[in-house]
């Protein structure tokens, strides 16, 4: 079946946890690949991404890992990037859910990301759950999320 040349290609739906977002924001190893993949995609996450990213930037600045200029630039970019995400609030239904990976027991905020990704996935399939954390990736696989 041939495609209509006027039809726009479907955009990927990608869920980013905070580790994946910070990798891109801070230009860490793997950031170029993540940036290419997220460039023309619909980006999904939890509002926790904003909280965790801000906290991490503050911690890095206090430790001296981020210069004051880089800190400000990173905060400004976080503010701009937030407008490109579809963010879901952390709600009571997500907190009360009994959904847990079969083997891995994630930390609380990681579990909130996983449950939020599952919520998005149930609403409309996501193409990939993106994380830089091996344990979080394994937990996502256990829950049936595409990684």
Q: Per-domain residue ranges for the chain?
A: 13-142
Per-residue model confidence (pLDDT) at position 6: 62
Distance CA 89, CA 113 (A): 11
Distances (CA, A) of 27 to 22, 45, 70, 142: 8, 19, 12, 29
Per-residue model confidence (pLDDT) at position 58: 98
Distance CA 129, CA 77 (A): 22
Q: Is the pTM of this model over 0.95?
A: no
Written in H, E and C, the secondary structure of the chain is: CCCCCCCCCCCCEEEECHHHHHHHHHCCCCHHHHHHHHCCCEEEEECHHHHHHHHHHHHHHHHCCCCHHHHHHHHHHHHHHHCCEEEECCCHHHHHCCCCCCCCCCCHHHHHHHHHHHHHHHHCCCCEEECCCHHHHHHHHHCCCCC
- Looking at domain 13-142, its CATH class is alpha beta
Number of residues that make up the chain:
147
Distances (CA, A) of 17 to 8, 61, 76: 27, 21, 19
- Which residues in the chain come in under a pLDDT of 50? 1-2
């Amino acid at each position: 079946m041939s495609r209509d040349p006027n039809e726009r290609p479907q955009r990927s739906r990608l869920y980013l946890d905070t580790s994946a977002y910070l990798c891109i924001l801070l230009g860490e190893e793997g950031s170029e690949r993540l940036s290419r993949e997220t460039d023309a995609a619909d980006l999904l996450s939890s509002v926790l991404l904003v909280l965790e990213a801000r906290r991490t930037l503050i911690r890095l600045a206090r430790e001296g890992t981020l210069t004051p200029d880089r800190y400000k630039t990173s905060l400004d970019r976080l503010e701009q990037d937030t407008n490109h995400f579809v963010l879901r609030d952390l709600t009571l239904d997500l907190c009360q859910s009994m959904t847990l990976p079969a083997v891995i027991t994630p930390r609380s905020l990681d579990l909130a990301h996983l449950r939020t990704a599952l919520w998005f996935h149930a609403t409309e399939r996501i193409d990939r759950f993106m994380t830089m954390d091996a344990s979080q990736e394994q937990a996502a696989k256990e829950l049936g999320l595409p990684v």
